[in-house]
Amino acid sequence: MELVASLGIGVLAGSGVWLLLRPRTFQVIIGLSLLSYAVNLFIFSTGGLRSGAAAILEPGEAGSIAQYTDPLPQALVLTAIVISFATTALLLVVLLAARGLTGTDHVDGRERDR
């Protein structure tokens, strides 16, 4: 479980960083999205990973604190998802504006001299 989760986070983060370093704005925005997925999964996993656990209560048992997953990382990840979604949407608008104003999708607003 830990291995799968950490591999997933690592692959997402690695692809995100690679795309972020690319010269096209669309690649950058996809890179940022992948990175934010990786970060969201990472926050989520700090609450501890368990497989096969009940959502809230085991059937037929009285609930105890020990069965609960830490709810705070889940609250954090929700906030983080909302915020990164909104700012990525804003970046998308700026990206389109930049494409329209400069006529190129290079991140510097002009093609590199060849």
* C-beta closer to another protein: residue 11 or 72: 72
Q: Record the tokens describing residue 75, joined without a space.
A: 């609250």
Distance, CA of 4 to CA of 2 (rounded, Å): 6
Q: Is 65 in the site for another protein (CB under 8 A)?
A: no
**Which three-class secondary structure state does DSSP give residue 74?**
helix
Q: Is 88 in the site for another protein (CB under 8 A)?
A: yes
- Of 25, 18, 28, 20, the C-alpha closest to 104 is 25
CA distances from 71 to 5, 26, 37, 57, 58 (A): 19, 35, 19, 14, 17
Site for another protein in 33-62 (CB under 8 A): 35-36, 39, 42-43, 46
**Count of CB atoms situated within 10 Å of the CB of 19:** 19
Q: Is 107 in the site for another protein (CB under 8 A)?
A: yes
Among 5, 20, 30, 49, binds another protein (CB under 8 A): 20
Distance, CA of 90 to CA of 99 (rounded, Å): 14
Q: Is 83 in the site for another protein (CB under 8 A)?
A: yes
* C-beta closer to another protein: residue 61 or 113: 113
Q: Is 109 in the site for another protein (CB under 8 A)?
A: yes
Which positions touch another protein (CB under 8 A)? 20, 25, 28, 32, 35-36, 39, 42-43, 46, 72-73, 76, 79-80, 83-84, 86-88, 90-91, 94-95, 97-98, 101-102, 107-109
